[in-house]
Structure 1
Amino acid sequence: MELRQLEYFVAVADERNFTRAAERVHISQSGVSAQVRQLERELGAELFDRSARTVTLTVAGKAALEHARAALAAAGAVGQAVGEVTDLIRGRLTVGMVTGCTLTPLFDALAAFHETHPGVELSLLEDGSDRLTEGVRTGAVDLALIGTATDTPEGLDALTIISERLVVAVPGGHPLAERRQVALRDLTAHPIVCMPSGTGLRAVFDRACAAQGVQPSIALQASAPDAIADLAVRGLGVALLSESMAARHRDRLTARPLDGVDAPALLALVWQRAHNPAVRELLVHSRRAFTAFSGSRP
């Protein structure tokens, strides 16, 4: 008894016709008939009543059908299990990281994954959040760390790593440094230094401005938070950053909450819902690394 015989038997039982069954399994009708006849000889009983135009199962056929389906399912499970192990032995994993990211837990997760699965080739791609998200959707990127304005980008699964409010940061002596908090409309009188379109932080800011009818003056754009801070220190504009980004420059810049922007800027891992075993394993290491990171933050 061979698996292909069971496959043809199930196909005929489902289609109730040898011709349609042959089209389904992509061989000739005579090939299907011959294999089913061989199966019947091995079992010692006819599985189909062929006397009418529509093929029907005999009592023996009905008894055999459920077991044939189970055997095919078991064979498929074996192939899937071996395939998953193979993916983790000699697969390839492309990981995306938003430009300017300085979060080392992602690197810790990659190192732990590589130690456990050294046969998987790792590739790290740095790009803007919008392009990385699209790469995950198309399958060009397996897993990406992005900045986003929404908890879960459409069509993907996500794990939020950081959720923070936006702040403005200015050097000492700047008029906004004297305020306890800054409203969006207060920014219209000053040039702004911020991240480019396509980043999560910028998306939160743009949405808030559109909702309130504010048209800010974007003077300079930079992908790296440190570059934004350096430009603000030199008086080239008001820096728009997240709380933790600004905190790294508290010795040079004064940060003030941005009033009227309630939605947080998020940093998240995103991946396709139907992910491969390598992604699943990397997620295990990522959750562990970022959980330790969150626990160590003040």
Structure 2
Amino acid sequence: MELRQLEYFVAVAEERNFTRAAERMHISQSGISAQIRQLERELGAELFDRSARTITLTVAGKAALEHARAALAAARAVGRAVEETAGLIRGRLAVGMVVGCTITPLFEALAGFHRAHPGVELSLREDDSDQLIESVRSGALDLALVGTAAPPDGLETLTVISERLVAAVPAEHPLAGRGRITLRDLADHPLVCMPPGTGLRTVLDRACAARGLGLKTALEAGAADAIADLTARGLGVAVLSESMARHYRDRLTALPIEDATDPALLALVWKPTPNPAARKLLAHCRKTFATWPQALGA
């Protein structure tokens, strides 16, 4: 008994016609008939009732059909397993991350993946979030850690952090004594914030546009450390996420922005059908981010 015979048997059973089954399997009608006859001889029973114009399954044929389909599915699964193993023995995995990223669970996931699959060549690229998202869409990157205002269309997303924006100022700043502020309060002060193309900046710009406000961006930096250092030196009001601002509470006071209600997201993004290596890295990422104190729900 051969797999191709089972394929021909299933085709005839589904088409209920030898001619159509032969066309579907790209074989002559006489060829598929001969293979079915050979299968019936090996099994010792007829699988089809050929007495009428429409081919029907015999009792034996009905009993065999489910098992034939299962055998073919198992054979395909074997092929996929081998392909995935080969893909993890050799290959390349391209990963992206936002500029200035210091997210240690991502680094731990990359290290764990490398230890488990040393034959896969890893590449890592920094860029702003908009560019990273487009690179994932185009296939230039397999997955990326990005900041975004909302899950990108057409991509799968694992949200790591979802939190609101805050302003951060040194103790001597006029806003430091305020418990909460609004976006309009920020209009009178120069801002130090992330550049366009980043998730935090997109959330800020959308919130301002919704209220018809134009804020003055004095300085832009891609790393939270740089934003905090510039702000601590009196060069403007920092706009950061809640968890970012907590890192600098020894020198900056965080002020919730009441009317900036939409959260900024930190998320892993990838195409709906990731390759085997990307799936394995995602598994490592899920594990490392699940124990990260700043992760969503922690």
TM-score using structure 2 length: 0.85
Map of 1:284 onto structure 2: 283
What aligned pairs does 1:1-298 form with structure 2 within 5 A after superposition?
1-150=1-150, 152-171=151-170, 173-233=172-232, 235-250=234-249, 253-294=252-293
Going from structure 1 to structure 2, the CA distance change for 1:209 and 1:64 (only over 3 Å counts) comes to same
Deviation at 1:106, TM superposition (A): 1.0
Residues 184-229 of structure 1 show CA distances to partners (whole Å, capped at 9, x for unaligned) of 0112223323223332212221232233232223344332223333
Deviation at 1:10, TM superposition (A): 0.5
**RMSD after superposition:** 2.8
Distance 1:159 1:218 in 2: 31
| Segment of structure 1 superposing worse, 264-273 or 180-189 | 264-273
Distance 1:175 1:189 in 2: 11
Distance 1:130 1:289 in 2: 25
**SS state of the match for residue 267, structure 1?**
strand
* Paired-residue identity, %: 71
Residues 227-282 of structure 1 show CA distances to partners (whole Å, capped at 9, x for unaligned) of 33344455544321123333444455443222212232221223344434433432
Deviation at 1:14, TM superposition (A): 0.6
Deviation at 1:97, TM superposition (A): 0.9
Deviation at 1:7, TM superposition (A): 0.3
The residue type equivalent to 1:197 in the other structure is P
Please tell me whether the aligned partners of residues 161 and 267 of structure 2 are also in contact (alpha carbons under 8 angstroms). Answer: yes
The residue type equivalent to 1:2 in the other structure is E
**SS state of the match for residue 182, structure 1?**
coil
**SS state of the match for residue 256, structure 2?**
strand
Going from structure 1 to structure 2, the CA distance change for 1:63 and 1:147 (only over 3 Å counts) comes to same
Relative to its length, the structure with more helix (as a share) is: 1
Going from structure 1 to structure 2, the CA distance change for 1:284 and 1:59 (only over 3 Å counts) comes to closer
Please tell me whether the aligned partners of residues 168 and 237 of structure 2 are also in contact (alpha carbons under 8 angstroms). Answer: yes
Deviation at 1:138, TM superposition (A): 4.4
Distance 2:202 2:183 in 1: 15
Unaligned stretches of 5+ residues in structure 1: none
**SS state of the match for residue 240, structure 1?**
strand
**SS state of the match for residue 292, structure 2?**
helix
Distance 1:25 1:218 in 2: 65
Distance 2:231 2:257 in 1: 16
The count of residues paired between Structure 1 and Structure 2 equals 296
Distance 2:64 2:174 in 1: 84
**SS state of the match for residue 118, structure 2?**
coil
Distance 2:119 2:4 in 1: 33
Please tell me whether the aligned partners of residues 163 and 241 of structure 2 are also in contact (alpha carbons under 8 angstroms). Answer: yes
Going from structure 1 to structure 2, the CA distance change for 1:143 and 1:50 (only over 3 Å counts) comes to same
Deviation at 1:114, TM superposition (A): 0.9
Distance 1:106 1:262 in 2: 27
